[in-house]
Amino acid sequence: MSRRSLILGALVAGAALVGHTPEANADAPPKAEVMVIHATKCDKKSVDPQIGETPPALGYDCLKLVEKKTLPLALNQASTAPLPNGRTFQLLHTAKVANRFKVTASISPADGSAGFTKLADITADANKPFNVGGFSYQGGVLVLTVRILP
């Protein structure tokens, strides 16, 4: 075998290795990105730039990002996140139809008793945010902007 053939063979083999990219696991569970936003009334309208696309303000002029969380969404297993007002937010992934995700959003009772109260059943497009909220917090309300990340 000539030197030229060996070099050509090595280049072809190297190109094949470089060109190989692992496939994404289609069965990997999605995640939910949850932005906890404090909405208040104020004299001068203000929206925290970290929020990005502004959710409906429910009559409040100032929106501040309190925190951003990522929740795992295993099928039929609830994921929870504590909120700054002492309550707990729960998200339950119940099905995937095409590229849409069915989830149930719930919150723990304000009096601290056990269980969760359903807020809404949502069929969400991947990467498209939806909002739940209106929970009292420090002179305003908490708005949760949720985006399903496949």
pLDDT tens, residue by residue, 61-94: 899 999 999 999 999 999 999 999 999 999 999 9
In a domain, 119, yes or no: yes
Q: Which residue in 77, 72, 84, 76 sits closest to 37, CA to CA?
A: 84
In a domain, 68, yes or no: yes
Please report the pLDDT score of residue 26 as a whole number: 57
Please report the pLDDT score of residue 55 as a whole number: 73
What's the rounded Cα separation, in Å, for the pair 77 and 47?
34
Count of structural domains within the chain: 1
**pLDDT digits 0-9 by tens, 8-60:** 333 333 333 344 333 444 568 899 999 999 999 999 999 999 998 777 656 88
Please report the pLDDT score of residue 131 as a whole number: 94
- pLDDT tier for residue 146 given thresholds of 50, 70 and 90: very high
What's the rounded Cα separation, in Å, for the pair 67 and 57?
17
In a domain, 145, yes or no: yes
Contact 127, 111 (CB under 8 A): no
In a domain, 62, yes or no: yes
Question: What is the enclosing helix (H) or strand (E) of 14?
Answer: helix 3-19
Q: Which domain holds residue 114?
A: 28-149
In a domain, 18, yes or no: no
In a domain, 48, yes or no: yes
In a domain, 21, yes or no: no
In a domain, 14, yes or no: no
Please report the pLDDT score of residue 53 as a whole number: 78
pLDDT at 98 exceeding the cut of 80: yes
